Amino acid sequence: MNRTQIILSVTLILQIVLIFATRTHEAETAGLGEPRSLFPALEKAEPARIEISSKEGESLTLTRKNDAWSIDQAGGYPADGTKVKKLLDDLRGLKVRNPVVTSSRYHEALEVTDETARARVKVWHDPTKDPAIDLLLGKSSGSRATDVRLDGKDDVWEIEGITPYDVRPNANAWIDTKLVDVSADTVTAIRIENTNGSFAIAKEGETWKVTEPEVSSSLVLSEQKVDTFVRSVVNLSIADPIGAVDEGAQGF
């Protein structure tokens, strides 16, 4: 370890000690305080736009139209309304008492600066105006405790109920990824069709037989291979949406 690394390590340790001491001092002098909502305005409004971004520079925008949410980066592919509602409910449920630190000198160490924040969530009630919420999520100091800061403010709060993992800017985290919702045990026939023709099989008792095209009745299909194929079809899921839903063009 060279001299520069030693100095940086010592500086980091001193910052951590200082933050701990500051937290302890403020807790002792200010008391716990009464819990209050971090976003009271969100309790009475229905957001129109949500932007999620990560430290790595990835971003995702959710837009509401006619009470339905869609993903801008996926060409307007529908977002799972249940997942978006959970995020908004989690934000509405955030309660704080007293800030853990009140000086910007600790922001970098707690990873709540523009450059170091692990995740960032912006919420608009009116997309033509500034965001109503601009929350930077930093370090986690417990299993569900995360240091957060509101953009433009020095106070850093420790909250529970939402972590950077909960606000990933990945499209597949905000959609219903299940493409087919059928139980494999209920499937009794399969038909495959393409430009080269068609192929179909049907289950008779516990045996699968080819019904199209005509084949010898002595042909025996592997029950294990058919079962594997059936389960792969009924478990089809979406990796990443790349465009809006068009059932006519896409064949679904």
What is the 3-state secondary structure of 120-158? EEEEECCCCCCCCEEEEEEEECCCCEEEEEECCCCCEEE
- Looking at residue 133, what is its pLDDT? 94
In the block, tokens 């002595």 appear at: 218
Short-list 15, 37, 21, CA closest to 109: 15
Please check the confidence at residue 7 and state whether its pLDDT lies above 70.
Answer: no
Q: Are 120 and 52 in contact (CB under 8 A)?
A: yes
The pLDDT tens digits for 91-133 are 999 999 899 999 999 999 999 999 999 999 999 999 999 999 9
Q: What confidence score (pLDDT) does residue 207 get?
A: 87
User: What percent of the chain shows pLDDT beyond 70?
Assistant: 83
Please tell me the total number of residues recorded for the chain in this structure.
252
Look at 56 and 205; give whichever has higher pLDDT: 56
Query: Where is pLDDT greater, at 149 or 245?
Result: 149
Does position 217 have pLDDT exceeding 80, yes or no?
Answer: no
Kindly indicate the confidence band of residue 29, based on its pLDDT and cuts at 50, 70 and 90.
very low
Buried b (16+ CB within 10 A) or exposed e, 187-225: eeebeeeeeeeeeebebeeeebebeeeeeeeeeeeeeee
The DSSP letter of residue 106 is G
Cα 71 to Cα 76: distance, rounded to the nearest angstrom: 5
- pTM score: 0.75
Residue where the block lists tokens 């393409």: 194
Q: Which residues contact 225 (CB under 8 A, 6 or more apart)?
A: none
> What value does the mean pLDDT take over residues 29-34?
56
